[in-house]
Chain A
Amino acid sequence: MSAPPLTQLGRSRPQAAWHVATVAEVRRETSTAVRLTLDVPTWPGSEAGSHLDLRLTAPDGYQASRSYSIASSAPGGPVVLAVDELPDGEVSPFLVHEVRPGDQLEVHGPLGSFFVWRPGESDRPVQLVAGGSGVVPLYAIAAAHGAAGDTSPLRLLYSVRRPGDVLFADELAALRGPAFELELVYTREAPATWAGPVGRLDKEALAASTVAASARPRVYVCGSTRFVETIAAWLQDLGHAAADIRTERFGGL
């Protein structure tokens, strides 16, 4: 996993365009998710937090397109995604179960300049809050922060159902250090050695495990729509200014 070489990205943002991607590797990431590594020779690189639109075309011409956050990418590729299966979904079960190395997909990107983090942009602390697959763009931010040697304090609070659901578990653990703190919340089942509580986040737990509003952190929240809206409302109750909270909704109720 390599972060985008920022010297090559320069000051100007890479332009969005359609690209043909060839699946290089499909790796099972958790019991419900895969990590897709795509070869995209024409890819311009991407900023941490951005996404792409992936388009599938059926033999009869029917097309379906969905957005996926970019876990990592470099100019010329590879582009790494993580896709979690929604069992009754249209696109994600195909990506999780059917896609094979050598398959070609169309991708449009890189997309988005709002839910991104740029090294050296600010000295303020940064708090990331992820629910489930919402960790993908936040992992990209943590990796870019580490690769840039950025010393602004970064914290990730990551809510998963079970220990086996953690995406990029090894990479996140390896990023831990003086400038990056990782805290997990287990909503259904925790590791045997876990001393903390098991269950959904509540406002008090959120307050206890995130940078205090008085420290004026910049906050990024990503996950299902319900998760994002719940967390964003609590953060405002805890005194964070709405303008300091950036959100990205992945869908769902």
Chain B
Amino acid sequence: MATHLDGNALAGALSEVFRADVTAARARCAGCGGVSPIARAMVYPDAPGLVARCASCDQVLATIVDAGDRVFLSLSGMSTIELRR
């Protein structure tokens, strides 16, 4: 797909990992230090997984690879996620 989406499209994949929806949660980019809701990230849905990049600096924030019976999740591009109780 020659297209990108945004972090809203991560809701399904992330709900398999987190108890509540986290797309409205704010995260700090480990690249530029900017803080914004995960829903505002740019999401590239090209196979084999989803790649979320910072909308300000393009740093890879997260990757999610669905491998059938397991999911590989990397959040290494986010230094903090603020989760509401």
Contact = CB atoms under 8 A, between A and B. Distances in A.
B9 interface: yes
Nearest to B13: A53
A112 B21 CA distance: 6
A104 interface: no
A251 B8 contact: no
Contact of A251 (B3, B15, B37): B3
Give the secondary structure class of B's interface.
Answer: mixed
B32 to A, nearest CB: 15
Nearest to A54: B12
B6 A248 contact: yes
B12 A111 contact: yes
A114 B24 contact: yes
Contacts of B4: 225, 249
Interface in B1-56: 1-9, 11-12, 15, 20-21, 23-24, 37-40
Nearest to A55: B12
Interface in A80-110: 108-109
Contacts of A109: 12
Contact of A225 (B5, B7, B39): B5
Interface string A211-253: 0000000000000010000000000000000000011111111
A16 interface: yes
A115 B20 contact: no
Contacts, number: 62
B3 A112 contact: no
A251 B2 CA distance: 9
A86 to B, nearest CB: 11
A112 B5 CA distance: 14
B65 to A, nearest CB: 14
Interface size class of A (residues with CB under 8 A): 20 to 34
A112 B23 contact: yes
Given A53-B12, A112-B39, A114-B39, A13 B21 contact: yes
A115 B39 CA distance: 8
Given A249-B4, A249-B6, A113 B24 contact: yes
A114 B3 contact: no
A248 B8 contact: yes
B12 A252 contact: no
A79 B60 CA distance: 35
A109 B5 CA distance: 18
**Interface hub of B1, B21, B23, B39 (most chain A Cβ within 10 A):** B21
Contact of B21 (A65, A108, A111, A225): A111
Given A16-B15, A111-B11, A115-B39, A251 B5 contact: yes
Nearest to A69: B8
Contact of A112 (B2, B11, B40): B11
B80 to A, nearest CB: 18
Nearest to B22: A113
A235 B20 CA distance: 31
What 6 pairs across the A-B complex have the smallest Cβ distances? Answer: A114-B39, A111-B11, A53-B12, A114-B24, A16-B15, A113-B21
5 contacts: A16-B11, A112-B8, A112-B11, A113-B24, A115-B39
